[in-house]
Amino acid sequence: MTPESSAAKVLQDAASLAGLDAKLTAFPREGSLAARLSTHPFIMAPMAGVSDSAYRMMARAGGASLAYSEMVSVAGLHYGGAKTWELVVPHEPEPDVAVQLFGANPEQFEEAAALVTERLGDRLALIDINMACPVPKVTRKGEGSALLEDPKRAADIVGACVGHTEVPVTVKIRSARRTGDPEVAADFARAMEQAGASAVAVHGRTASQMYRGEADWGVVSRVVDAVDIPVIGSGDVKSAADAARMLESTGATAVMIARGSYGNPWIFGNAQRIHAGERAVEPSVSLRLAAFCCHVRLLEATQAHMAKARSLSGWYLRGVPNAAQWRERAMHCKTVDEYLELAQTLDGLYGDGL
């Protein structure tokens, strides 16, 4: 059995036990991007070190209409790194993926857009360009949020991608590079629209804030007012209610959910329910444990490193009685069977039967 087919089997066997959908629905391909996003507005954000194939499948099973790869280096693709391509290529159960690229060289972006488009074919939903990452090892090379201070280069990068792919090209930005600097998001987004971007995602913090303090959702509203393309809001979406509230309060076309999805793949479907005026469905302890088991099994099926399950245990075990004690025990698990046995033990103590 191939890893891809075993991932499909994991979803078939385990997703419904966690209140998730075993059949992952593709992002619509017909109609304008604005229409597609507005109908399916809750999407899973790109997260470095987090949004691998297993994570994306869990999010899609929970109702995310679109899921993003981790940041993919255009330089890595240029030099043909196999590890870089592992971040790009979706596993078999994934109907499609949004690929987020980062770098600072327009020629490498041009090459990367063409290569990714050719290799993924109709499983490429869109290409996103990271102009938001605040991490110094990225920005010191002029990449990520450093591009907020170089709108000419940023526009050249957008144009390079647009000219070499048939899918929408989007950008993700922050409000400004540094706290105390004038806000640049609206003007920068307008320049990216003129360069050919099909949408812009806005995180309501400056890059120097990293992920500290509160996100300013007003930045999202100001970008909405500045451009005619869809705007995707991001920042401090910690719950399904937050996601629905951001959509309604900012005028954004869609909402990108990042840390709020940690151990909570149901957040996407619940946001859609709240947005539709329906009641959210909160997962029981047994559902959370079943989702943990599903996610761990997907890690194995996609040949991801099992050390990632330690982070998962911290997320999925929140709310379980004596959670700190059980998380500590999970830190000593090394195999899939050990994690599954831990979940079975917890369900026997606190759940209603896996």
At what angle are helices 285-301 and 308-316 packed, to 10 degrees?
A: 170
Separation of alpha carbons 37 and 199, rounded Å:
10
Q: Which of 153, 188, 156 has the alpha carbon at shortest distance from 172?
A: 188
What number is the average pLDDT over the span 19-36?
A: 96
The DSSP-derived string for 174-230 is ES-SSTTSPP-HHHHHHHHHHHT-SEEEEESS-GGGTT-S---HHHHHHHHHH-SS-
pLDDT at 287: 96
pLDDT at 353: 59
Residue ranges per domain, the chain?
21-275, 285-350
Give the tens place of pLDDT for each residue, 61-100: 999 999 999 999 999 999 988 999 999 999 999 999 999 9
Q: Which pLDDT band holds residue 4 (cuts at 50, 70, 90)? A: very low
Provide, for the chain, the percentages of residues in helix, strand and coil under a 3-state DSSP scheme, each rounded to the nearest 5: 50, 10, 35
Catalytically annotated residue among 133, 161, 294, 333:
133
Give the tens place of pLDDT for each residue, 138-175: 999 999 999 999 999 999 999 999 999 999 999 999 99
Separation of alpha carbons 134 and 149, rounded Å:
13
Give the tens place of pLDDT for each residue, 30-66: 999 999 999 999 999 999 999 999 999 999 999 999 9
Q: Which of 40, 15, 37, 29 has the alpha carbon at shortest distance from 269?
A: 40
What number is the average pLDDT over the span 270-276?
A: 98
Q: Which pLDDT band holds residue 329 (cuts at 50, 70, 90)? A: very high
pLDDT at 351: 87
pTM of the model: 0.95
Is 294 assigned a catalytic role?
no
Give the tens place of pLDDT for each residue, 222-248: 999 999 999 999 999 999 999 999 999
pLDDT at 24: 97
Separation of alpha carbons 351 and 291, rounded Å:
13
Give the tens place of pLDDT for each residue, 166-202: 999 999 999 999 999 999 999 999 999 999 999 999 9
Contact 49, 31 (CB under 8 A): no
Give all strands of the β-sheet with 199-203 in edge-to-edge order. 42-44, 254-257, 231-234, 199-203, 169-174, 124-131, 97-102, 68-73
- Residues sharing a CB contact under 8 Å with residue 290, sequence separation 6 or more, in sequence order: 14, 17, 18, 19, 343, 354
Select from 3.30.530.20, 3.30.70.20, 1.20.58.110, 3.20.20.70 the CATH code of 21-275.
3.20.20.70
C-beta atoms surrounding 100 within 10 Å = 28
List b or e across 164-190, with b for residues whose CB sees 16 or more CB atoms inside 10 angstroms. bbebbbbbbbbbbbeeeeebbbbebbb
Tell me what percent of the residues of the chain surpass a pLDDT of 90: 95
